[in-house]
């Protein structure tokens, strides 16, 4: 079938239009709208574009430079298509959280990032019903869901990482994506579909299409996006494939609902479970000294309470280990809650962010220090810098796996994994903190408990932590790193 994208004149014309369109937008925003906010690097047109290119692979350094220099105000970072304003300092951060959705909208920021109207569709774009389902049905039923979570984790590990007396090399990230995909879909879809390899692959393909399509659509002027979406994504085909898997499940649930009504209690998002677990696994595999304390705690709790949700809540060291991994390296849900629905086991969305809680201004705004934010500006908080700030954490550049379990002796709820604050932002904070974080924490801790009880692990290069990969503000655990597994020998 003929596609206009195959036509060279059409393609060159589109490229020229994109260059002119965004050149104008960049020039306009850099010289006028944001001129009062200091820039990291340079605010001139050509030099800022150079720094935007540099930011693609070195955003952490640029963010930290801005945070150190403009500690109690705001600064801006150049991206390829626009500027991002970063809010710094406790006072402005507090004002940021207090602003309503009519001032700073997280949904508008997400919709632009994922192009949800064109990639996912108007139902999700205009209606966030799924967030309410996660907040109410999913979180409320975690205790009832736990046996299924536990069963699927055990089954998935045994099938994908079979226990062996000899060391077995595993490429960690893609394997963990499959485990998390199966476990999450055990709750959302149930047996046997959650174990269907075609359905799991479809999850990954669909989200890959969304990410790729959104990236291309963001390059185009808005007027062209409704047409271009038909050529840059394969989403209709993916959805048609999904219907084949889901239609029988949905029909059966309707039948049961009609038959039993309110008496039928079918069991009911995951965000970055596989990112968080991969980062924690790398840390554990590189530092064997962490294994014994984790094992001792898990064994004692399971012996006392069995495999229950209540037992997971008593695993303070496991909880602290994950929380410190998220603080130290930045892996977590971070930005928003709508995005979590779309991250049901992905290959392109397998990333977290060094900034948190991205918003888009719906009107012209002004902070108390005089910082003016024009309508349409993207605004974020440098969570990476806050997590490494000595004002909030003792020895912030040192990884301390028991940092929060020691603190929790005094303030248990304040320092557990799912707790958010102005100084701890992997799950966001405030009204739009990730609603699926309770489910994610239970899944992660159950996976870790299963791992330490059944496996020995080490890195392919013993003691070496794989370097994470960054792209703009995204950060992911090294996707090619290999971890060695064997059946646990010490009991």
User: Total domain count for the chain?
Assistant: 1
- Which of 217-226, 244-253, 271-280, 308-317 is the least confident region? 271-280
d(CA 491, CA 113): 49
The predicted model gives 433-450 an average pLDDT of 92
SS3 83: strand
Cα–Cα distance between 175 and 200 in angstroms, integer? Answer: 12
pLDDT the model gives residue 354: 83
Where does the pLDDT of residue 15 fall: very low under 50, low under 70, confident under 90, or very high at 90 and above? low
Query: Contact 301/314 with Cβ under 8 angstroms?
Result: yes
Which range has the worst mean pLDDT, 246-260, 338-352, 362-376? 338-352
Does the pLDDT at position 165 exceed 90? Answer: yes
Whether residue 251 lies inside any domain: the answer is yes
pLDDT one-digit tens code per residue, 380-426: 999 999 999 999 999 999 999 999 998 866 677 788 999 999 999 99
Distance, C-alpha 164 to centroid of its chain: 32
The verdict on residue 373 lying in a domain is: no
DSSP secondary structure string for all residues of 218-264? TTS-GGGHHHHHHHH--HHHHHHHHHHHHHHHHHHHHHHHHHHGGG-
pLDDT for residue 32: 60
The count of other CB atoms within 10 Å of the CB of residue 133 is 15
Q: How confident is the model at residue 23 (pLDDT cuts 50, 70, 90)?
A: low
Residue 370 to residues 39, 73, 244, 373, 379, Cα–Cα distance (Å): 16, 9, 56, 10, 15
Residue 272: pLDDT over 70: no
| Among candidate residues 338, 376, 372, the one with its CA nearest the CA of residue 360 | 376
Average pLDDT estimate for 14-27: 60
Residue 28 pLDDT class (50, 70, 90 cuts): low
Percent of the chain past pLDDT 70, that is, above it, reads 82
pTM more than 0.75: yes
CATH number of domain containing 268: 1.10.630.10
Which range among 90-94, 176-180, 206-210, 480-484 has the greatest average pLDDT?
A: 480-484
For 155, residues 6+ apart whose C-beta sits below 8 A from its C-beta are: 182, 195
Predicted pLDDT at 136: 67
More confidently predicted of 391 and 334: 391
**Per-residue pLDDT at 484:** 98
Tell me the three state secondary structure of residue 489.
Answer: coil
When pLDDT is cut at 50, 70 and 90, the band that residue 219 belongs to is confident
pLDDT band for position 285 (50/70/90)?
very high
Let me know if residue 407 belongs to a domain: yes
Give the Cα separation of 283 and 279 in Å (integer).
6
Helix ranges restricted to H, 29-170 = 45-69, 90-98, 106-114, 116-119, 122-126, 129-133, 139-140, 142-160
pLDDT reading at 135 higher than 60: yes
The answer to whether 182 and 195 have CB atoms below 8 angstroms apart is yes
Closest C-alpha to 322, from 357, 289, 294: 294
Q: What is the pLDDT of residue 269?
A: 39
pLDDT at site 267: 40
pLDDT value of residue 156:
97
- Tell me the per-residue pLDDT of 80-100, one tens digit each, with 9 for 90 and over: 888 999 999 889 999 999 999
Residues forming a β-bridge with 352: 475
pLDDT recorded at residue 265: 46
Contacts of 384 (CB under 8 A, 6+ apart): 60, 63, 64, 330, 354, 355
pLDDT given at position 66: 94
pLDDT at 116 over 80: yes
pLDDT attached to residue 481: 95
How does strand 455-459 pair with strand 104-105?
Answer: unpaired
Q: Which domain holds residue 400?
A: 129-353+383-487
Does the residue 27 lie in any domain? no
3-class SS of residue 337: coil
Whether pLDDT at 11 is above 80? no
Residue 134 has pLDDT above 80, yes or no: no
What is the residue-averaged pLDDT of the chain? 84
In a domain, 67, yes or no: no
The answer as to whether 376 is a domain residue is: no
181 is in an annotated binding site: no
Q: What is the largest CA-CA distance in the chain?
A: 71
Average pLDDT on 119-128 reads: 78
Residues 91-111, mean pLDDT to the nearest whole number = 92
Per-residue confidence at 21, pLDDT binned at 50, 70, 90?
low
The answer to whether residue 77 is domain-embedded is: no
What was the pLDDT predicted at 46? 79
* 344: pLDDT strictly greater than 70: no
**Angle in degrees, 0-180, between the axes of helices 316-329 and 273-286, rounded to the nearest 10:** 100
pLDDT of residue 41: 86
In a domain, 70, yes or no: no
């Amino acid at each position: 079938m003929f596609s206009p994208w195959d036509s060279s004149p059409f393609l060159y014309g589109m490229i020229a239009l994109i260059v002119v369109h965004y050149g104008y937008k960049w020039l306009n925003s850099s010289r006028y709208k944001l001129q009062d906010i200091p820039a990291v690097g340079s605010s001139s047109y050509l030099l800022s574009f150079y720094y935007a290119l540099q930011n693609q692979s070195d955003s952490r350094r640029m963010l930290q430079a801005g945070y150190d220099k403009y500690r109690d105000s705001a600064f801006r970072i150049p991206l390829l298509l626009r500027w991002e304003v970063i809010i710094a300092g406790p006072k402005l951060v507090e004002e940021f959280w207090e602003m309503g959705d009519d001032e700073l909208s997280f949904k508008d920021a997400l919709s632009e990032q994922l192009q949800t109207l064109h990639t996912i569709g108007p139902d999700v774009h205009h209606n966030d019903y799924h967030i309410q389902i996660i907040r109410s049905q999913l979180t409320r039923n975690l205790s009832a869901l736990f046996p299924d979570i536990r069963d699927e984790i055990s089954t998935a590990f045994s099938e994908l990482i079979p226990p062996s007396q000899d060391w077995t090399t595993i490429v960690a990230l893609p394997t963990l994506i499959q485990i998390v995909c199966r476990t999450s879909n055990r709750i959302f879809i149930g047996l046997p579909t959650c174990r269907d390899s075609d359905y799991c692959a479809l999850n990954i393909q669909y989200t890959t299409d969304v990410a790729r399509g959104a990236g291309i659509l963001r390059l185009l002027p808005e007027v062209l996006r409704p047409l271009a979406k038909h050529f840059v994504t394969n989403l209709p085909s993916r959805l048609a494939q999904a219907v084949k898997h889901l239609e029988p499940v949905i029909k059966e649930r309707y039948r049961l609902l009609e038959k039993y009504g309110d008496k039928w209690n079918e069991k009911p998002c995951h965000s970055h479970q596989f990112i968080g677990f991969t980062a924690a696994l790398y840390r554990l595999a590189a530092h064997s000294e962490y294994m014994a304390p984790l094992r001792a705690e898990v064994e004692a709790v399971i012996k006392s309470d069995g495999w229950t949700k209540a037992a997971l809540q008593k695993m303070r060291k496991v909880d602290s280990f994950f929380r410190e991994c998220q603080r130290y390296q930045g892996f977590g849900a971070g930005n928003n809650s709508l995005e979590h629905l779309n991250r049901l086991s992905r290959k392109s969305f397998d990333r977290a962010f060094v900034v948190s809680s991205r918003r888009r201004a719906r009107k012209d705004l002004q902070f108390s220090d005089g910082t003016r934010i024009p309508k349409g500006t993207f605004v974020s908080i440098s969570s990476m810098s806050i997590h490494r700030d000595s004002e909030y954490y003792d020895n912030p550049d040192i990884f301390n796996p028991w940092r929060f379990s020691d603190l929790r002796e005094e303030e248990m709820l304040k320092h557990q994994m799912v707790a958010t604050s102005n100084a701890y932002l992997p799950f966001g904070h405030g009204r739009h903190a990730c609603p699926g974080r309770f489910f994610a924490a239970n899944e992660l801790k159950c996976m870790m408990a299963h791992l330490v009880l059944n496996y020995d692990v080490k890195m392919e290069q013993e003691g070496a932590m794989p370097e994470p990969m960054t792209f703009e503000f995204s950060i992911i655990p090294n996707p090619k790193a290999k971890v060695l597994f064997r059946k646990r020998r010490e009991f």
